[in-house]
Structure 1
Amino acid sequence: MKFNELDKKMRVYETAHDHSVLPGIYIIARIDGRCFTTLTKDKHSFEAPYDPKFRDMMVETVKHLMQCGFKVLYGYTQSDEISLLLDLNENTFERKERKLNSILAGEASAKFSLLLGDIGAFDCRICQLPHRQLVIDYFRWRNEDAHRNALNAHCYWSLRKEGLSPEESAATFTKMSVVHKNEFLFQKGINFNDLPNWQKRGVGIYWESYEKDALNPITGEAVKASRNRLKVDLKLPMKNQYSHFVGGLVPEII
C-alpha cells in the first residue's frame, strides 16, 4: 500500500470525532491543576491556605497562555485553576476542541513546571457560550467560587494549625453558615473582610494600552507610540461591579 493511501486510510480514525466551536460562539478555556493538593501541600509545602509564591506562579502561567499563539482577551486565576476568554474571532486550528484542549493544557503544564522546578500537570476543557451575558455569568461564578473557597480554606486551616486532623477540621464546618464561619474566624483574630482581595476574589489579567517614547522613522521626530501590555489586577471588584468590569472586556456579537 502506498503511503498516501495508508495515510488517508488511518487519518480518519484520528479525526473522525473532531469537533469545532461554531463561529459566533464565545470560547472559554477552563484549565485545572491535576493533584495539586498533593503537589503544593505534601511535596513542596507552600504556605497554607494561600502562598504569594504559588499565586505568582499561576499568574505567570496565565500570562504565558495569553501570549502563546491564541488571542486571549481576559485571563483569570484562583487557587489552581485558570479561565481564559478567547477573542470571538479566534480561528486558530479552525477552533478544533481537541487542539485547544491539548495545546492549552500542555502550555500551562510546561510553563508551571519550569517555574516550580517539578512536574505540575493541568487539564483543559472548553466552554462554548452562545451569548455575552453567559460569559459575564461564567466569570462571576468563578469569582464567587473563589470567595467561598477562601472562607472555607481559612476556617479549615485555622484548625489544622491547631493540631486537628483533616477529617476533624472539615467536619467542623460541614453545616456551618457563612455568618458563623465569619464569626469563627473573627474569634480567632481574623477579620475575613480585611484579607487580601486576591485571596477572596482571585486575580485578573488583561490587556491595557500605554504610551512610550519613540521616533518617527521617516522624519526622525520624537513621538508617542501606543503599545499593549498585560496588566495583573490583584484587587478585582466584587459582585455586580465585577460583572460590569467583565462586561467591558467582552465584545458584542454583531
Structure 2
Amino acid sequence: MKFDELDGKMRSFETHHDRAVMPEMYVVARIDGRGFTRLTKEKHDFEKPFDERFHDYMLTTVQHLMNCGFNIVYGYTQSDEISLLFHLNENAFSRKERKWNSILAGEASAKFSLLLGDLASFDCRLCEFPNSGLVTDYFRWRNEDAHRNALSAHCYWLLRKQGNSATEATQRINRFNTADKNELLFSNGINYNDLPAWQKRGSGIYWKDEEINGFNPVTQQTVNTIRKKLYINKNLPFSEEYSKLINNIIEISGR
C-alpha cells in the first residue's frame, strides 16, 4: 500500500467521529481542574477556604486562554473552574469540538502548572446555546453556584478549625439552611456580606477599550489610538445586575 493510501485510510479512523459546532450557536467552554482537591489541600499549603494567590493563578490562566488564538469575549472563574464565552462567529479549526476541547484543556493545564510549579491538569467540555438568553442564564448559574459554595466552604472550615472532623463538619452543614449558615458565621465574628466579592461570586475578565498616547515619527505629532485590553473584575455584581453585564458584553461583541 502506498503511503498516500495508507495515510488516507488511517486518517479516516481519526476523523470519523469529528463533530463541528453548528453556525450561529453560542459556545461556552467549561474547564475544570482535575484532582484539585488533593492538589490544593494536601500537596500545597493554600489558605482555606480561599486563597487569593490561587485565585490569581486562575485569573492569569483565564487571561492566557483569552489570548491563545481564540476569539473569546468573556472569561469567568470561581474555585477551580473556568468558563469562556466565544464570539458568536468564532470559526477557529472549523469549529471542531475535539480541537477546541483538547487545545483549551492543554493550554490551561500548561499555564497553571507553570504558575504553580507543579503538575496540574484540566478537562474541558463545550456547552452550546441557541440564544443569548441561555448564555446569560449559564453565567448566572455559575455565579450563584459560587455564592452557595462559598457560604458552605466558610462554614465548613470554621467548624474544622473548631475541632470538628471532616465528617462531623459536613453533617452539620448538611442540616443547615442559608440563614443557619449565616448565623453560624456571624456568631463567630464573620459577617458573610463583608467577605471579598471574588470569594462569593468569582471574577470576570472581559475586553475594554483603552486610549493609548503615541508618537508618529513621520508627522512628528502625538497621536491617540484605541486598543482593547483585558479587564479583571473581582467585584462582580449579582442577580439582575450581573445579567445586565453579560448581556452588555454579548451585545458589544456583536457590533
2:37 aligned partner: 37
2:135 aligned partner: 135
1:13 aligned partner: 13
Residue deviations 1:93-134 (CA, integer Å, cap 9, x gap): 000000000000000000000000000100000000100000
Letter in 2 for 1:220: Q
Determine if the alignment matches structure 1 residue 58 to structure 2 residue 58.
Answer: yes
> 1:46-125, aligned counterparts within 5 Å?
46-125=46-125
Q: How far apart are residue 77 of structure 1 and its match? A: 0.1
Q: Which runs of 5+ in 2 are unaligned?
A: none
Letter in 2 for 1:206: Y
Determine if the alignment matches structure 1 residue 25 to structure 2 residue 25.
Answer: yes
| TM-score normalised by the chain length of structure 2 | 0.97
CA distance in 2, matches of 1:113, 1:104: 14
CA distance in 1, matches of 2:185, 2:152: 10
Residue deviations 1:192-248 (CA, integer Å, cap 9, x gap): 011000000000011111111112354221111111111110100011000001100
- On the 8 A contact 1:30/1:127 being kept in 2, the answer is yes
- On the 8 A contact 1:24/1:253 being kept in 2, the answer is no
| TM-score normalised by the chain length of structure 1 | 0.98
Q: Is the partner of 2:106 in helix, strand or coil?
A: helix
1:227 aligned partner: 227
Q: Is the partner of 1:249 in helix, strand or coil?
A: helix
Letter in 2 for 1:167: T
Letter in 2 for 1:131: N
CA distance in 1, matches of 2:103, 2:53: 25
Letter in 2 for 1:150: A
Q: How far apart are residue 175 of structure 1 and its match? A: 2.5
Q: Is the partner of 1:53 in helix, strand or coil?
A: helix
Percent of paired sites with the same residue? 59
2:149 aligned partner: 149
2:175 aligned partner: 175
Deviant stretches of 4+, over 3 Å: 251-254
CA distance in 2, matches of 1:253, 1:81: 26
CA distance in 2, matches of 1:54, 1:129: 30
Q: Is the partner of 1:99 in helix, strand or coil?
A: helix
Q: Which runs of 5+ in 1 are unaligned?
A: none
Q: Is the partner of 2:174 in helix, strand or coil?
A: coil
Q: Is the partner of 1:248 in helix, strand or coil?
A: helix
2:240 aligned partner: 240
